[in-house]
Structure 1
Amino acid sequence: MINEVIHIAIIDDHTLFRQGLVHLLSESGEIQVIFDASDGADMIKKIASHTPLPQVILMDITMPVMDGHASTLWLRKHYPDIKILALSMSDKETSIMEMLRSGAMGYLLKESKVSEVITAIKTINNQGFYINEYVSGKILNTLQKNDIIEEKGKKLSANELRFLELCSSELTYKEIADRMNVSPHTIDNYRESLFEKFQVRSRTGLVVYAIKNSLIKI
C-alpha cells in the first residue's frame, strides 16, 4: 500500500532554515512542501493561490509583520481544517501554552530531528494533534502552577483581596487602612500574610504577582 503524500507549508522568517527544511522534508518522499513563506502576511498572500491547500502548516512564532500567534488565529478562522504544528526555538512554557491556546495542534523545538518532525506531521494529519514527552511535561508543569495559583487565590479572604486592589492605587498604607475602616496594625497583618503566601518582599511585588495571576484587575 502506497502511503499518501501529505501536503504542507512552512512559515518561518529564517530563509536558510526554511529552505533547508523544505529540502529535508521533500527528500522523505512522504511530505510535499507546496509553498513556504517568511511570515503570516506572506502566507496569506500565497495560500489563496494554492490548490490543494496544505493539510499541515509548520509555524514559527517570532516573525516580522505577522507573527505565529496572529497567523495561527487567522488560519483557525479562515481555514479551520488546516492543522498547525508550531516549530520554534523557544522552550518557554509561556510560548508553548500561547501557541496551543491560539490553535496549534502540536509544538516542536527547531533542534528536533527531521525524523521527529516527519512523525509529528503524520500524527497531526491523522490524529489531529501531536504532543511529545517534552512538551507534555511543560504543559503539566503549567497546569500544576495554575492549580497552586488558584489555590492561593481561594485562600485569600475578602479583606485581603480588597487590600490587594487598594495596593495597586497610589494610596499610602495609612490611607488604605482608613478606606477599609481598619487599624494600621490590621493592614500590617494583611501585608505580611500576603508577603508570605506569595513569597514576595515588597508592595510592588504583591501587585505584580496579583495582576499576573488575575487576582486583581486594574
Structure 2
Amino acid sequence: MAIKVLVYDDNEALRTSIEALIMAEDDFLLLAVMPNAETVETDVKELQPDVVLMDIDMPVINGVMAVQRIRQFNQQLPVIMLTVFDDNDNIFKAICAGASGYLLKQNATSEIPGAIRTVMAGGAPMTGSVARKVLQMVPKAVNTEQEKSNLSEKETAILQLLVKGFSYKMIATELRISIDTVRFHIKKIYDKLHVHSATEAVSRAIRDKLV
C-alpha cells in the first residue's frame, strides 16, 4: 500500500520539486501540497496522511504551531520538518512540539524519499548539520555519567543503532529480538533519559556521548 504524503511549504519552487519527487516514487501517494498550514487540523483529519512534510517558516501558521496543533489530536502521525541551517530557535521549538525528523531545505529533494521511508519504519531522520545545531541548543545534562550507567547493555546497543538511523524493524533484525521487545527497551530508554521521542534520544546520545 502506498505511503500517503501531505506537504506544507510556502516556497513555490520547492513545492513543485517535492511534488515531482513524490509522484516519481511508486510507493508514495501525494495527497496535497499546501502553501500554508492554516487548515492543518481539517487537512489531517480529512486526508488521513501517513506522513507530513512541514516547512518551519511559513506565513499565517508556522510549522512549529502546525505540529502543536496536530499533536493535540494525533500523537502518532510522523511529521518531518523542512528547515534552514541557521533556524536554531524554531528547530528547538519543533523538538518540543513533537516533530519526527528534520531535513535541510537545500538537501530536501535528495533526502526526502529516504527520510519518509525511515520515519515510517520508526526511525528519526535528521540531516547531520541540523543534528549538530540541535545539540548546540539543548542544555547540557547534569547527570550524564549516572544516565550512562543506568542504561543496560541491551538499551545501550539499541541506542547506538538509533543513532545510526536504524528503524525499529532493522534494530530487531540486527539484535535478533522482536519488534515488541525493541519498543519495550526504547520506552525504558526514553524514561531513563527523560526524553519523549527517538529524535530527542538520538540528540542526547550524541551530545552527552552516551554511546
| Coarse TM-score class (shorter-chain normalised) | 0.5 to 0.7
2:45 aligned with 1:58: no
1:13 to 10, 15, 24: 10
Q: Which residue of 2 aligns with 1:147?
A: 140
Instruction: Note the aligned Cα RMSD (angstroms).
Output: 2.1
**Equivalent residues in 2 for 1:1-218, closer than 5 Å:** 4-50=1-47, 53-143=48-138, 146-147=139-140
- Report the alpha carbon displacement of residue 57 of structure 1 after superposing the two structures with TM: 0.4
Structure 1 alignment gaps of length 5 or more: 151-218
Output the TM-score relative to the length of structure 1.
0.58
- Report the alpha carbon displacement of residue 38 of structure 1 after superposing the two structures with TM: 1.7
Secondary structure (helix, strand or coil) at the match of 2:107 reads coil
Q: 2:68–2:97: 8 Å Cα contact kept in structure 1?
A: yes
Q: 1:139 to 1:48 in 2, by over 3 A?
A: closer
- In the alignment of these two chains, the number of paired residues is 142
Q: 1:7–1:54: 8 Å Cα contact kept in structure 2?
A: yes
Structure 2 alignment gaps of length 5 or more: 143-211
Secondary structure (helix, strand or coil) at the match of 1:48 reads helix
- Report the alpha carbon displacement of residue 61 of structure 1 after superposing the two structures with TM: 1.3
Distance 1:34 1:113 in 2: 18
Secondary structure (helix, strand or coil) at the match of 2:57 reads coil
